[in-house]
Amino acid sequence: MAQYSRVSGTVGLITLLNPPVNALSAAVRQGIVDMMDKALSDRKVKSVVICGHNGKFCGGADIREFSSPLTGPLLIPVIQGVESAAKPVVAAIEGVALGGGLELALGCHYRIAHSKARLGLPEVHLGLLPGAGGSQRLPRLIGVPAALDIITTGRHVTAAEALKLGLVDRVTDRNTVDEAVKFALSVADQSPQSRRISTFPCPHHPDLDAVFEGVMQRVRQRARGALAPVACVQAVAAATLPFAQGMERERELMATLFTSGQARAQQYHFFAQRAVGRWSMPSGARWDKTKPVAVHKAMVIGLGTMGRGISVALVQAGVSVVAMETNEKQLMDAKQAISSMLERGAKRRGVAPALDKIRYSSDMQPAADVDLVIEAVFEDMALKKKVFQQLSALCKPGTFLCSNTSGLDVDQLASETRTPELVVGMHFFAPAHVMKLLEVVYGSRSSPQAVATAMELGKQMGKVSVAVGNCRGFVGNRMLKPYLEQAFFLLEEGATPEFVDQVLEEFGFAMGVFRMSDLSGLDVGWRVRKADGLPDGHSARIRQGCRYSPLGDLLCEQGRFGQKTGRGWYQYDKPGGQVAKPDPWLQDFLEKFRTQHGLVARRIDHQEVLERCLYALMNEGFRILEDGIAAGPEDIDVIYVLGYSWPPHRGGPMFYAAMVGLKKVLERLEHYHQEHPDIPSLKPCNLLRKLVVSGSPPVQKWREFLQKPQSQL
Ligand SMILES: C[C@H](O)[C@H](C)C(=O)SCCNC(=O)CCNC(=O)[C@H](O)C(C)(C)COP(=O)([O-])OP(=O)([O-])OC[C@H]1O[C@@H](n2cnc3c(N)ncnc32)[C@H](O)[C@@H]1OP(=O)([O-])[O-]
């Protein structure tokens, strides 16, 4: 919908009205057409302003309309109608002008932005491209390089940067609509002809081919296998043609993307990231029935890499922090590191670093007057228990006690305190001030308010918080285990690390499993496995009755921890080196290992690597749903895309299982389980069977098939 009024005597004011973000639904598009007619036929009106209701200009096309046949006027002619208007049209941009919203503003003759507004063309994150003229008008207005950057990254641009680029004509700190009306009055007698961007030539650039070449290489590297970024480059390249031809090219490219599985996957991911905020617990507690407690002051205990990142994220969220570390040297190093991280972040955001929001302590005493504590000490249960005991004795009533553990039992930590209902896990992902994912882990006694408070704090820290149940590895790391195991077994059976990684990176992972293991350090998993007890004479390949691969342990015994030691699954030019090269030593080691265990190397193809690694991971995801550790497939998919570099254009493990076809996933798991009966993680999960028997419903319907979960521990 859109409203119309005449203001200041001669300005027609059109207000987009579609809360919460004034998305360009069919009704809004029709509203723009009708209100423009009104303004243009109103003889008293000399110029027009378009603004958005409730402080947001427009969040773009209505994504919810994409899955049904489009009705109402198409956006391209609506924008064309604005641009060809005989009276000057001014866009009053506050809040956001994104996607089709910015394309509408580009159809206006002038753009006035509030200093806090954000502008962008994020369609690439939805598996699309700016399909209403954005790929043709933006390069004409700000040049090809800047347009390519904005369109292929989908990033938001601040009003200040937009002014510098020439994307907006004015920036104001005052009331944006008032300023836009004043501006409209000032241009009332000027013809808009020279302001129609579609009539601009594409600005000349000395070496356009090299620019397109360079960007195309970058987008292909950054998002392996993704269609949209490539199409974005191709659409901008068409802006060097006459406008009508460029628009035709944009339409063709958009049509291929719109119906692609990748666009469906990325739009699913967009809504899934919002669905996880509507969390629930097996007890029936829910997001809309539980009020979080505001956290003004927090303590972070343990200032290693994670503790530092968590401290920075809290300070940047406006929380006062006491950063605590018993080791004096580590405390000093941390103070240095945290200050420079805060300064760098502040510079990037163009604000002053809030160094006064953090103070440092070598003892736990200040825990007595904080609202919440996040423990981020070494991943050792005995140490963590001691910390929780101390905190419980120190903290004031009502203080929430959270652990950044990546998979240890939250209930055990809660048992060390007098207030187990105030204990939850807050599992951050490294680097904690950058990664958007937060797993909020509720134990059997965690109160809904503790969960609500941790979820809200995560959101305040700019994270996507996902509430998960308490089991070994929670969701992300629990699914990672069978995935890693299959990769190890494939090496034993004849594959090489570089082949397995190549297959997974072609699928779209930023890093294959062996490259990732070398980066994070083989010793991390080794320590956990040792704590669980390695098989005796640990070359034994059976552990707790199941097939076990000792390859990782054997490498660690040789001191091959990965990049940090210069040797791991790959070799590096020096300790800390990052360029992985195949290591002849490893081939020799694998051959000796196979001979020792009577294994005969066989040819393993691309499909087997993909299916064995990914289907084992998905199967664990089905088990997690069956156990009630995750409330729905969206939780699992958001965790994997945001925390484990699952390619967004594949939606997430559960969405991808549905895309492949649950029947096929089931058949392949049965095939591999028959071949490897000693690998339980390949045994198809009952929920998978149930979904197949029920006709393989779409992922959005799976919640209807989930039983009431029982506790995991
Ligand atoms: C032709 C053209 O070229 C192409 C084809 C396009 O234009 S494609 C579309 C391009 N536009 C986008 O990609 C922008 C996507 N949106 C955002 O980035 C953010 O929403 C926001 C604008 C920065 C606000 O953030 P927020 O944190 O204040 O609130 P929120 O929680 O995110 O969102 C609040 C509620 O609004 C819903 N919502 C947000 N944007 C929407 C949109 N464009 N369409 C439909 N619903 C939308 C969202 O799902 C949530 O509802 P619910 O799920 O909770 O029921």
Question: Has 704 been annotated as catalytic?
Answer: no
How many whole angstroms from 60 Cα to the centroid of ligand 1? 7
- Predicted confidence at residue 539, as pLDDT, reads 54
Q: Whose CA is nearest to atom 22 of ligand 1?
A: 59
To test the ligand 1 pocket, which listed residue (32, 56, 63, 136) has its Cβ within 8 A of the most ligand atoms?
63
Tokens of 12: 């027609």
- Predicted confidence at residue 204, as pLDDT, reads 80
- Predicted confidence at residue 387, as pLDDT, reads 97
Mean pLDDT (whole number) for 207-222: 93
411 pLDDT band (50/70/90 cuts)?
Answer: very high
Question: Which atom of ligand 1 is least distant from the CA of 103?
Answer: 3
Mean pLDDT (whole number) for 410-427: 97
What ipTM was assigned to the predicted interfaces of this complex? 0.98
Q: What is the pLDDT of residues 454-474, one digit of tens each?
A: 999 999 999 999 999 999 999
How many whole angstroms from 453 Cα to the centroid of ligand 1? 25
Catalytic one of 83, 123, 492, 498: 123
How many whole angstroms from 21 Cα to the centroid of ligand 1? 7
How many whole angstroms from 59 Cα to the centroid of ligand 1? 6
DSSP E strand stretches across 277-387: 297-301, 320-324, 358-361, 372-375
What residues does 442 pair with on adjacent strands? 424, 469
Catalytic one of 83, 103, 485, 626: 103
Question: Which atom of ligand 1 is least distant from the CA of 154?
Answer: 13
Tokens of 520: 């994070």
What residues does 321 pair with on adjacent strands? 298, 358
Helix (H, G, I), strand (E, B) or coil at 37: helix
Go through the domains of the chain in sequence order and give each one's CATH number: 2-258 (3.90.226.10), 287-472 (3.40.50.720), 495-596 (1.10.1040.10)
Full-model pTM: 0.94
Indicate the average pLDDT of the chain: 95
**CA quadruple 687, 279, 659, 435: dihedral, nearest 10:** -120
Q: Whose CA is nearest to atom 17 of ligand 1?
A: 59
How many whole angstroms from 362 Cα to the centroid of ligand 1? 44
Q: Whose CA is nearest to atom 26 of ligand 1?
A: 21
Question: Which atom of ligand 1 is least distant from the CA of 130?
Answer: 3
Q: What is the pLDDT of residues 239-261, one digit of tens each?
A: 999 999 999 999 999 999 998 99
Tokens of 333: 């190093």
How many whole angstroms from 274 Cα to the centroid of ligand 1? 10
525 pLDDT band (50/70/90 cuts)?
Answer: confident
Contacts of 98 (CB under 8 A, 6+ apart): 58, 59, 60, 118, 119, 120, 121, 122, 156
pLDDT at 631 over 80: yes
What is the DSSP secondary structure assignment for residue 417, as one 8-state letter? Answer: S
Cα separation, 517 vs 237, in Å, equals 39
- Ligand 1 neighbours, Cβ below 6 Å, are 20-21, 23, 59-64, 75, 96, 98-100, 103, 122-123, 126, 128, 130-132, 134, 271, 274
Question: Which atom of ligand 1 is least distant from the CA of 275?
Answer: 53
To test the ligand 1 pocket, which listed residue (16, 18, 21, 253) has its Cβ within 8 A of the most ligand atoms?
21
Q: What is the pLDDT of residues 535-594, one digit of tens each?
A: 766 557 888 888 999 999 999 999 999 999 999 999 999 999 999 999 999 999 999 999
Mean pLDDT (whole number) for 416-425: 97
How many whole angstroms from 663 Cα to the centroid of ligand 1? 33
- Predicted confidence at residue 349, as pLDDT, reads 81
Which is it for strands 297-301 and 320-324: parallel, antiparallel or unpaired? parallel
To test the ligand 1 pocket, which listed residue (98, 116, 256, 464) has its Cβ within 8 A of the most ligand atoms?
98
Question: Has 103 been annotated as catalytic?
Answer: yes
